[in-house]
Amino acid sequence: MARRYYIKDVVYGANDGIVTTFAVVAGVVGGGLATRAVLIVGVASLFADGLSMAASNYLGSRSERAVLDHDDGGGPTGVPTVPWISAALTFGAFVLAGAVPLVPYVLLGCGRRTLLWTALATLGVLFAVGASRSIVTKRPVLSAGLEMTLIGGASAAVAYVVGHLVSASM
């Protein structure tokens, strides 16, 4: 199996892992909860969401493969992915990248600056994962990194703003 066929699974898992965990952390912090709560909710969400994404990827890949196998005129797609490998890569990327927003809370505890460090770490990892795509896609490193940073960063910002608005309305 060619590794390049699995780039979607790794990028998808990493982006969703870091954005989802950042959103959970920001929401819990916005609610004024302690470091212990941030870490408990963050880690629980990290593994539950990671497993959910892996299971969804597995089921989706199996469904896609079944359709292609029974397609009357389509033939093979030329993308020889194995559903359980796709699922495992999605889970691994989700958990590895998704753990990043929790690290500042482990090292620094709760505080105003901790959320800033979390946001900076999140943006840094988004850029690193995006830039690393250029190894396979042959796109320029800077544009590949910025694309993922902007898209993932926008998603994280929306999650933070929504969490803040909900918290302020309660």
Does residue 130 fall inside a structural domain? yes
Question: What would the pLDDT profile of 26-52 be if each residue is shown by its tens digit?
Answer: 888 877 788 898 999 999 999 999 999
The token duo for 147 is 């694309």
Does residue 104 fall inside a structural domain? yes
Does residue 170 fall inside a structural domain? no
Direct distance between the N- and C-terminal alpha carbons of the chain, in angstroms, rounded to an integer: 52
Question: What would the pLDDT profile of 147-167 be if each residue is shown by its tens digit?
Answer: 999 998 888 788 778 877 887
Q: How many domains does the chain have?
A: 1
Domain of residue 93, residue span: 3-165
Q: Which of 114, 9, 128 is nearest to 61 (CA)?
A: 9
For residue 77, report the phi and psi dihedrals to the nearest 5 degrees.
-85, -15
Between CA 72 and CA 147 the distance in angstroms is 38
Does residue 71 fall inside a structural domain? yes
- How many other C-beta atoms can be found within 10 angstroms of the C-beta atom of residue 53? 23
Do residues 45 and 20 touch, judged by C-beta distance below 8 A?
yes
Per residue, what are the HEC states of 10-21? HHHHHHHHHHHH
What pLDDT is attached to residue 26? 83
Does residue 60 fall inside a structural domain? yes
What pLDDT is attached to residue 79? 62
Q: What is the DSSP letter of 32?
A: T
Does residue 120 fall inside a structural domain? yes
Does residue 152 fall inside a structural domain? yes
pLDDT in tens, the chain (170 residues): 466 788 899 999 999 999 999 988 888 887 778 889 899 999 999 999 999 999 999 999 899 888 877 775 555 555 688 999 999 999 999 999 999 999 999 999 887 789 899 999 999 999 999 999 988 888 999 999 999 999 988 887 887 788 778 878 88
Do residues 81 and 90 touch, judged by C-beta distance below 8 A?
no
- How many other C-beta atoms can be found within 10 angstroms of the C-beta atom of residue 50? 25
